[in-house]
């Protein structure tokens, strides 16, 4: 070998070694970062004496909202303006976004059928006990299904935190809450669930922050403080969408508080997991139970879908306030923007239906309840900022996706959800993945679309956790 070749080989070896070292650094698990449990998000100046602030502001207040008639009349007049919508192209259903012919029908129904029944809808929305309490300077809203002592005898008693996402709200969980409530009443059932369903900060009736940096990790701190405030030191979590990310963060940052974490959108975005997902595509049968390969593969379908459907994500992660301004005080645009997701994320094939298949799996009233929550609380802009905060450098530097958690984890996969992760990917982060299921029917909004299936899956998970970990509360 010539000297030059020897030097080249040497350089290549050193280079290869360095790359390997760098890549393997991306592979290793990281310790959990410490987040400030008292970080202040309120509009007012941070209190100098936090203990005094807590002493004065920890009250939990029962809350019943009734919107003034003028608010409803204003909405009616906005919905009564002549619609100058651009007609869809010939033969186009939902492929270019919300079909404007159908949008007209939605607006008519909203104005002439739904809105005159608003007081009824209000009673419906307020059927559970609603509360607010002050956490780290923000007024946090939540539903609380409480079970009193006399019903507890001989039963296993578990608190459950249900976490929604975007563009959803607490409304997604109403049927699910009823199922938990029914099971509480059932004498043959050995569980009693206390159910806590918060609106995320900046969503619905929870206050938004005026400060930068309230990302999913910080929301996890707020939600954990809420549970501890209510006297729940150990609890189960269920969530999809952001609720899944925030729930995972709670399990990662506060494992001692979490009995089990159940999600219908489990994910692990660590570099190792993403490489594994790609490589698994070469031998699907090694990684996927037979019959469910099409949940994950071919990867090219997933990439195509991602390119077609993630525009909202990019705009909300970069310019949430611009798109927010376009949707504020614009109920027609708001409904189109929100409901398009309830069409495509429920089933991508609904894009070829002129009505987006919206009422195939949902009642229009349920969908409009959710739109009303965004409209009445003027929370579309603040809800979208969560995307920007997730992708801010400080949040990414936490690298929570690389911090493992030992909390028992359950993952329910619905075929039409917007992304899917293999067990082998999830297990890098969730060291106790004790429950992993597949459903051929259902999409992203499982709690709203298939509440019974999700409920049963959740109960199966709780049973598994009990059996394997012999947990004891209370
Ligand atoms: C390896 O990582 C260091 C920083 O950690 C960086 O400066 C260097 O350029 C990287 N080298 C290679 C070969 O990627
Ligand atoms: C707490 O509330 C009391 C009574 O309203 C008030 O006098 C006191 O200044 C408050 N303290 C703080 C720290 O806000
Ligand atoms: C999506 O819709 C198509 C057509 O209606 C149907 O065949 C398919 O089963 C649905 N997928 C899911 C996961 O529900």
**Residue nearest ligand 2's atom 6 by CA:** 56
Per-residue pLDDT at 472: 57
Beta carbon of 8 within 6 Å of any ligand 1 atom: no
Is residue 462 in some structural domain?
A: yes
Separation CA 237–CA 162 (nearest Å) = 6
What is the pTM assigned to this prediction? Answer: 0.93
Per-residue pLDDT at 225: 98
Beta carbon of 420 within 6 Å of any ligand 3 atom: no
When pLDDT is averaged across residues 62-90 and rounded to a whole number, the result is 95
When pLDDT is averaged across residues 182-208 and rounded to a whole number, the result is 91
Residues carrying an active site annotation: 241, 387, 444
Boundaries of domain holding 149? 50-63+128-296+400-469
When pLDDT is averaged across residues 429-446 and rounded to a whole number, the result is 98
Q: Ligand 2 mean position to 56 CA, how many Å? A: 6
pLDDT tier, 474 (very low <50, low <70, confident <90, very high otherwise): very low
When pLDDT is averaged across residues 5-9 and rounded to a whole number, the result is 83
Question: Which CATH number do you get for residue 156?
Answer: 3.40.50.1820
Is residue 249 within 8 Å of 429, Cβ to Cβ? no
pLDDT tier, 203 (very low <50, low <70, confident <90, very high otherwise): very high
Beta carbon of 58 within 6 Å of any ligand 2 atom: no
Is residue 85 in some structural domain?
A: no
Is residue 412 within 8 Å of 457, Cβ to Cβ? yes
H, E, C per residue of the chain: CCHHHHHHHHHHHHHHHHHHHHHHHHHCCCCCCCCCCCCCCCCCCCCCCHHHHHHHHCCEEECCCCCCHHHHHHHHHHHHCCCCCCCCCCCCCCCCCCCHHHHHHHHHHHHHHHHHHHHHHHHHHCCCCEEEEEECCEEEEEEEECCCHHHCCCCEEEEEEEECCCCCCHHHHHHHHHHHHHHHHCCCCCEEEEEEEECCCCCCCCCCCCCCCCCHHHHHHHHHHHHHHCCCCCEEEEECCHHHHHHHHHHHHCHHHEEEEEECCCCCCCHHHHHHHHHHCCCHHHHCCCCCHHHCCCHHHHHHHHHHHCHHHHHHHHCHHHHHHHHCCCHHHHHHHHHHHHHHCCCHHHHHCCCCCHHHHCCHHHHHHHHHHHHHHCCHHHHHHHHHHHCCHHHHHHCHHHCCECCCEEEEEECCCCCCCCHHHHCCCECCEEEEEEECCCCCCHHHHCHHHHHHHHHHHHHHHHHHHCCCCC
Is residue 318 in some structural domain?
A: no
Separation CA 136–CA 140 (nearest Å) = 10
Tell whether the model's pLDDT for residue 50 goes beyond 80. yes
Phi/psi of residue 279, nearest 5 degrees:
-65, -35
Is residue 357 in some structural domain?
A: no
Tell whether the model's pLDDT for residue 198 goes beyond 60. yes
Is residue 59 within 8 Å of 133, Cβ to Cβ? yes
Per-residue pLDDT at 2: 78
Return the best residue to mutate from 17, 22, 26, 271 for the ligand 1 pocket (most ligand atoms within 8 A of CB).
Answer: 22
User: What share of the chain in percent tops pLDDT 70?
Assistant: 98
User: What share of the chain in percent tops pLDDT 90?
Assistant: 84
Is residue 378 in some structural domain?
A: no
Is residue 280 in some structural domain?
A: yes
Is residue 253 in some structural domain?
A: yes
Query: Which residue's structure tokens are 């927010």?
Result: 324
Q: Ligand 3 mean position to 373 CA, how many Å? A: 29
Per-residue pLDDT at 243: 98
- How many domains does one find in the chain? 1
218: exposed, middle or buried (C-beta count within 10 Å: 0-12, 13-18, 19+)? Answer: buried
Separation CA 123–CA 126 (nearest Å) = 5
pLDDT tier, 150 (very low <50, low <70, confident <90, very high otherwise): low
Return the best residue to mutate from 14, 18, 25, 397 for the ligand 1 pocket (most ligand atoms within 8 A of CB).
Answer: 18
Give CA angle at 392 (391, 394), nearest 5°: 125
Please give the number of the atom of ligand 3 that sits closest to the Cα of 348: 1
Is residue 17 in some structural domain?
A: no
Spacing of C-alpha 181 from chain mean position = 22
**Residue nearest ligand 2's atom 2 by CA:** 56
pLDDT, tens digit (0-9, with 9 covering 90-100), for 136-148: 999 999 999 988 6
Mean of the per-residue pLDDT values of the chain:
94
When pLDDT is averaged across residues 358-380 and rounded to a whole number, the result is 98
Separation CA 341–CA 118 (nearest Å) = 24
Name the least confident of 80-94, 176-190, 327-341, 370-384: 176-190
């Amino acid at each position: 070998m010539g000297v030059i070749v020897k030097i080249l080989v040497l350089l290549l070896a050193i280079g290869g070694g360095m790359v390997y070292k760098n890549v393997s650094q991306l592979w290793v698990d990281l310790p959990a970062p410490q987040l400030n449990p008292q970080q202040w998000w309120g509009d007012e100046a941070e209190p100098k004496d936090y203990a005094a602030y807590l002493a004065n502001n920890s009250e939990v207040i029962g809350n019943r909202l009734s919107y003034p008639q003028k608010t409803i009349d204003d909405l009616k007049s906005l919905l009564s303006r002549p619609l100058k919508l651009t007609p869809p192209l010939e033969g186009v259903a939902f492929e270019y976004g919300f079909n404007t012919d159908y949008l007209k029908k939605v607006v008519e129904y909203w104005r002439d059928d739904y809105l005159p029944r608003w007081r009824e809808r209000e009673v419906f929305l307020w059927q559970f006990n609603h509360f607010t309490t002050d956490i780290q300077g923000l007024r946090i809203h939540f539903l609380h299904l409480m079970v009193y002592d006399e019903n507890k005898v001989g039963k296993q008693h578990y608190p459950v935190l249900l976490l929604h996402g975007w563009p959803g709200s607490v409304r997604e969980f109403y049927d699910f809450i009823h199922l938990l409530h029914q099971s509480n009443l059932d004498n043959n059932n050995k569980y009693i669930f206390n159910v806590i369903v918060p609106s995320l900060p900046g969503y619905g009736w929870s206050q938004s922050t005026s400060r930068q940096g309230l990302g999913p990790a910080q929301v996890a701190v707020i939600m954990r403080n809420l549970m501890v405030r209510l006297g729940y030191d150990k609890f189960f979590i269920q969530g999809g969408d952001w609720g899944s990310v925030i729930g995972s963060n709670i399990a990662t940052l506060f494992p001692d508080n979490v009995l089990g974490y159940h999600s219908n959108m489990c994910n692990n975005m660590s570099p190792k997991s993403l490489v594994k997902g790609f490589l698994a595509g070469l031998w699907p049968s090694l990684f996927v139970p037979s019959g469910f390969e099409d949940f994950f593969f071919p990867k090219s379908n997933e990439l195509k879908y991602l390119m077609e459907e993630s525009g909202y994500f990019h705009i909300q992660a970069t310019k949430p306030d611009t798109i927010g301004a376009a949707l504020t005080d614009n109920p027609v645009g708001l409904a189109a923007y929100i409901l398009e997701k309830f069409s495509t994320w429920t089933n991508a094939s609904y894009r070829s239906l002129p009505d987006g298949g919206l009422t195939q799996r949902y009642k229009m009233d349920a969908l409009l309840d959710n739109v009303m929550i965004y409209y009445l609380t003027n929370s579309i802009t603040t809800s979208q900022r969560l995307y920007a905060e997730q992708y801010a450098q400080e949040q990414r530097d936490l690298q929570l996706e690389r911090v493992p958690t030992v909390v028992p984890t359950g993952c329910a996969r619905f075929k039409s959800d917007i992304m899917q992760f293999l067990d082998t990917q999830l297990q890098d982060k969730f060291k106790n993945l004790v429950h992993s299921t597949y459903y051929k029917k259902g999409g992203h909004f499982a709690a709203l679309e298939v509440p019974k299936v999700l409920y049963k899956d959740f109960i199966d998970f709780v049973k598994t956790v009990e059996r394997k970990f012999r947990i004891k509360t209370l």
